[in-house]
């Protein structure tokens, strides 16, 4: 019994020693690793003034700058950025936590996608530079995803980390742009008319509410297409408001500084919009080989700086002639043929 008791006490003692050796180290490691990665202060979070993101080949992809309290994409003609997208991204970056220390050997950086001059595809990291109003800047690389996190490394440092957040890395500047061209509702529209080479195609106008009823009209009743030819009718009741919806919900694919020479020598079609508050503006559309262009005049002076590229389907949705709104005419050839067949019977 005494021998067994002695052996038991010895085992308990060894276990206590093991706990004393290993448990504190684990706790210390966790304390060192599970900390905010960039340690950005609350004041700095409120004073971010620039974000630059590079691709794997070190080409500048995003150059977001805070200018006069507006976030603009400097490498996209200073077009406004969707501030919500930028804020969400910066929140992910600033709140990311180290959950595991990884390699500190430079020869292994490419495996995590954190090298800077790797020869293999996917070996280089995406470099990010943050600039603050205080003059401080932070530079780091974001690497490959790992489960729900992402590998990262501070520029100039060898230690790599696994972060608890899979921080999104935009592939193009367009990702963060506010691509909605207009902030208007249909009830703000008074008239819309389309022309080609100064020749009127059609006009849509808003009808005044009926005095005979207080019930709200549907959109198909609110807007009418003028000067429909005799004995013709709309393809379907909502085709006119559908056109307006396509117009007002227009989103561009890319933006660039306006090139006046582009618009001088090419045929365009235009859409003129008059709003109920007497503001008006004109949209100019043109096709150049495989590119569909848009420029806007009159709504806001800022539009004078830009031209936009549109998806083909958006361009086609707006490039309408009168006939596109109407039901097709009966095919007279088919009618004549049917008549001859019937007479032969």
Q: What are the pLDDT tens digits along the chain (345 aa)?
A: 443 334 333 433 444 333 333 323 333 334 345 778 898 888 888 899 999 999 999 999 999 999 999 999 999 999 999 999 999 999 999 999 999 999 999 999 999 999 998 777 778 999 999 999 999 999 999 999 998 899 999 999 999 999 999 999 999 999 999 999 999 999 999 999 999 988 999 999 998 765 544 454 555 568 999 999 999 999 999 999 999 999 999 999 999 999 989 988 777 899 999 999 999 999 999 998 899 999 999 888 778 889 999 999 999 999 999 999 999 988 755 545 444 444 443
74 near 52, Cβ under 8 Å? no
Cα dihedral 138, 143, 149, 154 sign: negative
Average pLDDT, the chain: 84
- DSSP conformational letter for 328: P
Specify the residue for token string 């117009």.
247
Cα dihedral 30, 34, 40, 46 sign: negative
> Given this model, what pLDDT does residue 222 score?
86
> Given this model, what pLDDT does residue 220 score?
55
Please, which residues have CB within 8 angstroms of residue 294's CB and are 6 or more apart in sequence?
181, 250, 252, 283, 284, 285, 307, 308, 309, 310, 315
Tally the residues of the chain: 345
Instruction: Give alpha helix (H) positions in the chain.
Output: 2-33, 42-45, 83-95, 219-222, 239-248, 312-318, 322-325, 332-344
- How confident is the model over 69-115, as pLDDT tens digits? 999 999 999 999 999 999 999 999 999 999 999 999 999 999 999 99
- How confident is the model over 21-80, as pLDDT tens digits? 332 333 333 434 577 889 888 888 889 999 999 999 999 999 999 999 999 999 999 999
Global pTM reads 0.77
């Amino acid at each position: 019994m005494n021998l067994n008791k002695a052996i038991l006490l010895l085992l308990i003692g060894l276990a206590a020693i093991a706990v004393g050796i290993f448990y504190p180290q684990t706790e210390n490691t966790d304390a060192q690793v599970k900390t905010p990665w960039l340690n950005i202060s609350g004041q700095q979070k409120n004073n971010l003034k620039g974000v630059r993101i590079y691709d794997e080949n070190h080409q500048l992809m995003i150059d977001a700058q805070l200018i006069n309290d507006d976030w603009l994409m400097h490498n996209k003609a200073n077009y406004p950025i969707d501030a919500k997208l930028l804020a969400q991204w910066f929140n992910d970056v600033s709140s990311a936590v180290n959950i595991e220390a990884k390699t500190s050997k430079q020869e292994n950086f490419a495996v995590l996608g954190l090298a800077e001059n790797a020869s293999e595809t996917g070996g280089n990291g995406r470099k990010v530079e943050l600039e603050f109003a205080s003059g401080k800047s932070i530079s780091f690389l974001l690497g490959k995803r790992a489960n729900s996190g992402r590998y990262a490394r501070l520029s100039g440092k060898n230690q790599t980390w696994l972060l608890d957040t899979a921080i999104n890395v935009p592939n193009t500047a367009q990702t963060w742009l506010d691509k909605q061209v207009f902030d208007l509702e249909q009830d703000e529209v008074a008239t819309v008319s389309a022309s080609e080479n100064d020749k009127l195609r059609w006009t849509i106008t808003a009808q005044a509410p009926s005095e005979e009823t207080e019930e709200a009209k549907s959109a198909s009743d609110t807007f009418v297409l003028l000067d429909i030819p005799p004995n013709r009718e709309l393809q379907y009741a909502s085709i006119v408001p559908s056109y307006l919806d396509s117009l007002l919900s227009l989103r561009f694919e890319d933006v660039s500084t306006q090139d006046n020479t582009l618009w001088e020598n090419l045929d365009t079609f235009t859409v003129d919009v008059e709003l109920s508050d007497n503001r008006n503006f004109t949209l100019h559309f043109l096709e150049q080989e495989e590119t569909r262009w848009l420029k806007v005049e009159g709504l806001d002076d800022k539009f004078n700086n830009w031209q936009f590229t549109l998806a083909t389907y958006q361009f086609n949705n707006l490039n309408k002639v009168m006939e596109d709104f109407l039901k097709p005419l009966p095919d007279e050839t088919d009618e004549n043929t049917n008549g001859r067949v019937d007479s032969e019977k």
